[in-house]
Amino acid sequence: MKKSVQILIVIGLLCAINRLSYAQTAKATISNDSKLIISKHIYGQFAEHLGRGIYDGFWVDKNMPVKKQDRIRLDIVEALKKIKIPNLRWPGGCFADEYHWRDGIGPRLSRPKMVNTNWGGVVEDNSFGTHEFLQLCNLLGCEPYISGNVGSGTVQEMSNWIEYLNFDGTSPMTAMRAQNGHPKPYNVTFWGVGNESWGCGGNMTPEYYSNEFRRYAAFAKNYPNATLKKIATGPSDADYNWTESLMKNVGTRMWGLALHHYTLPTGDWKDKGSATKFTREDYFKTMQNTLKMEELVTKHSAIMDKYDPNKKVALVVDEWGIWTNVEPGTNPGFLFQQNSLRDALIAGTNLNIFNNHCERVKMACLAQAVNVLQSLILTKKEKMVLTPTYHIFDMYKVHQDARLLPIKLDAPDFEMNGQKIPAINASASQDAAGKIHISFVNIDATKAIEVKADMGDMKWDTVDGQILTSANLTDINTFENPNKLKIAAFSGAKKSGNNVIVTLPAHSVVVLELK
C-alpha cells in the first residue's frame, strides 16, 4: 500500500512538472505576406501645458545651469532625438480648448498672462507659444501636431492660426508672422479640431460635435505645401456610439479619429493606485486593464470599417499610457508620477498592439513626454533621468516605417486568483535594409517563457537582441540612481533551422534583430 502511494506521488509530480514545462513554452509563426507599413507616427509624444511638462520641463529659466537654445533645454532635446520621436502634440489636452494662440506670440514681456484652470490653477506667462513650440519641433526633427481650440474659441480664430502658420503670401496673418521673426511659412499639417469635446473640450454630444467639426474644418484651409491632416475628437475608451456617429456624419472629411484610453491600475478614477507601491495582485489587474487596448482598437476599427472600408481614416490614439496617483507631496494638478518596470511592460504591450493594427492605427501619442503621467523623462532642477518607458521607445524605434510581419502566438496564460491573461505579446517588422525585428513582452511576474518562432521562408543567418528588465516590478530610475533600469545586451536567442528560439525572462521586454 505504501509503495503504491509513493508511485502515485511520483506520477503526480511528473505530471505537475510536465504541466509547468508546457506552461513555460510558446510557439509563434511569423509570416512574410504583408505589405502594411508600421507608421513612424505611432511613436509620437504629447506635451501639454500641464504641471512641469512645458514650464520647468522643455522650457526652463534662463539662469538654469544646463545647455539651452533660447530657453529650450537641450539635454531633453538630445534624448528625444535619439529615440527618433516623429511628432509632438501641443498645447493640449484639456488646455487646448482654453488656449488662445494670439496670447502666445509677439514680444514675450508684453504677452498677457493666463490662468491654467484645468491643471492646478497656476498662472502662465505665455512665454512658450507658437514660435517656441515650432522651434522645439525643429530642434527635435519631428512634425508638430497642433490641437486647435473648439471649446472656447471660434472658427475664425482657428482659421487665422492656420493661415498664420501655413500661408506663403501677403495677408495680415503673414505680415504678423514676419514681424514676429518668421517670414516663411511653417507648413504644419497635423491639426486637431478640438480635444475631448465630449468632456473638458465642451461637454458636447457626438451629433453636435460632428456638426462643429464640419464647420471648423470647412474654414481650416489647405495652402501650398501644407495639406492639412484634420484629426477629429474621437471616443473615450469604449464609447462606440461616438465612433459610430462621427463615422456616419463626418466620414472621410477627417484624416483621423482620436481615441483616448488610459490604463488605471485600480480601474477607479478617484483612487488610481500608486506608481511605485503595488502588490503582485495590483500588477496583474493593471496588466488586465492595459490589455483592454486590444479590444478597444479592434472594436472601434470594426465600426470605422463599416463606413470606411478602404481605411482612409486613421485611428489616432493620441492619449494613452498609465495614470496613477501623483507622487506624495506633489501638486495634485500637476500629474507627476514615477515610472517603474511595470510601466515599461505597459509601453511595450501597447506599442505591440498598435504595430499589429497598423492598417488602421496610423498615429499615437504617449501621455506625456516630460514630468507628466507616463513620462519618458523626469527632471529636477538641472538633473535629468530617463525612465524605463524611455528605454522601450529606444528599443522599439526599429519598427518605425518598417513593413509589418504578421505574427501568430500560441502562448501560455499568466494566471492569478482564477483569472487569466496572455502571458506574452509581440510584434514584428522588416526594415528597408532587410533586417527583421521582433519585440516580445513577457508580462508573467514569475515565469520565464521559451518561444519557438517559425520564420517561414525568410532568410537570415544571425540573431542578436536587447533586453529591459529588473529584479522587481516596482524598480525605478531615480536622480540618485538613474541607471538602475537600462537596456542590456541579450544572448538568450538562437537559430535552429529557420526557427528562432528565445527564452524570455519573467517581466521582461526583449527586441531581437535577425539579419
Who wins on pLDDT, 86 or 24? 86
pLDDT at 11 over 90: no
If phi > 0 it is left, if psi is from -120 to 50 it is alpha, else beta; for residue 273 that is: left
Confidence of residue 6 (pLDDT cuts 50, 70, 90): very low
**Dist. CA 45–CA 81, nearest whole Å:** 12
**Dist. CA 414–CA 444, nearest whole Å:** 5
400 within 8 A of 43, measured Cβ to Cβ: yes
Confidence of residue 24 (pLDDT cuts 50, 70, 90): confident
How far CA 97 is from CA of 48, 94, 202, 231, 254, in Å, comes to: 12, 6, 8, 15, 19
Q: Find the DSSP H helices in 255-368.
A: 280-290, 292-307, 341-356
Q: Report which DSSP code applies to 110.
A: G
- The pLDDT score that the predictor gives to residue 49 is 98
**Dist. CA 429–CA 196, nearest whole Å:** 33
- The pLDDT score that the predictor gives to residue 460 is 95
Residues marked as catalytic: 196, 319
What is the mean pLDDT of the segment spanning 140-145? 98
> Closest Cα to residue 54, out of 163, 129, 107?
129
Q: Which pLDDT tens digit goes with each residue over 439-449?
A: 999 999 999 99
Q: What residue has cell string 519641433?
A: 137
pLDDT at 355 over 80: yes
- The pLDDT score that the predictor gives to residue 407 is 97
- The pLDDT score that the predictor gives to residue 297 is 98
- The pLDDT score that the predictor gives to residue 178 is 97
Q: Which pLDDT tens digit goes with each residue over 377-393?
A: 999 999 999 999 999 99
pLDDT at 267 over 60: yes
Confidence of residue 19 (pLDDT cuts 50, 70, 90): very low
Q: Tell me which CATH code domain 26-34+405-514 carries.
A: 2.60.40.1180
Half-sphere exposure of 108 (CA within 13 A, CB side): 11
**Dist. CA 26–CA 17, nearest whole Å:** 16
Least trusted range by pLDDT, from 7-11, 142-146, 256-260, 417-421: 7-11
What is the mean pLDDT of the segment spanning 389-404? 98
Above pLDDT 70, what percent of the chain? 96
Domains 26-34+405-514 and 40-401 share a fold: no
* Exposure letters 495-515 (e unless 16+ CB within 10 A, then b): eeeebbebbbbbbbbbbbbbe
3-class SS of residue 258: strand
Check: CATH 3.20.20.80 for 40-401? yes
Helix 155-166 vs helix 206-218: angle between axes, to the nearest 10 degrees?
40
pLDDT at 260 over 60: yes
pLDDT at 296 over 80: yes
**Dist. CA 386–CA 486, nearest whole Å:** 9
168 within 8 A of 185, measured Cβ to Cβ: yes
Domain spans in the chain, listed from the N-terminal domain onward: 26-34+405-514, 40-401
How far CA 341 is from CA of 25, 193, 194, 510, in Å, comes to: 23, 35, 34, 13
Q: Is the dihedral of CA 316, 319, 322, 323 positive or negative?
A: negative
Q: Report which DSSP code applies to 475.
A: -
**Dist. CA 23–CA 43, nearest whole Å:** 33
Beta strands in 155-288 (DSSP E): 190-193, 229-236, 256-263
Q: Report which DSSP code applies to 102.
A: G
Grid cell at residue 432: 528597408
pLDDT at 494 over 70: yes
- The pLDDT score that the predictor gives to residue 4 is 45
**Dist. CA 370–CA 366, nearest whole Å:** 11
> Closest Cα to residue 398, out of 487, 297, 301?
487
pLDDT at 8 over 60: no
- The pLDDT score that the predictor gives to residue 303 is 98
pLDDT at 95 over 50: yes
Phi, psi (degrees; rounded to nearest 5) at 191: -140, 120
pLDDT at 13 over 70: no
- The pLDDT score that the predictor gives to residue 21 is 37
Confidence of residue 38 (pLDDT cuts 50, 70, 90): very high
Q: Which pLDDT tens digit goes with each residue over 439-478?
A: 999 999 999 999 999 999 999 999 999 999 999 999 999 9
Who wins on pLDDT, 59 or 3? 59
pLDDT at 144 over 90: yes
Grid cell at residue 313: 481614416
Confidence of residue 10 (pLDDT cuts 50, 70, 90): very low
Pairing of strands 424-430, 436-442: antiparallel
pLDDT at 9 over 90: no
Q: Is the dihedral of CA 372, 374, 375, 379 positive or negative?
A: positive
> Closest Cα to residue 231, out of 83, 405, 46?
46
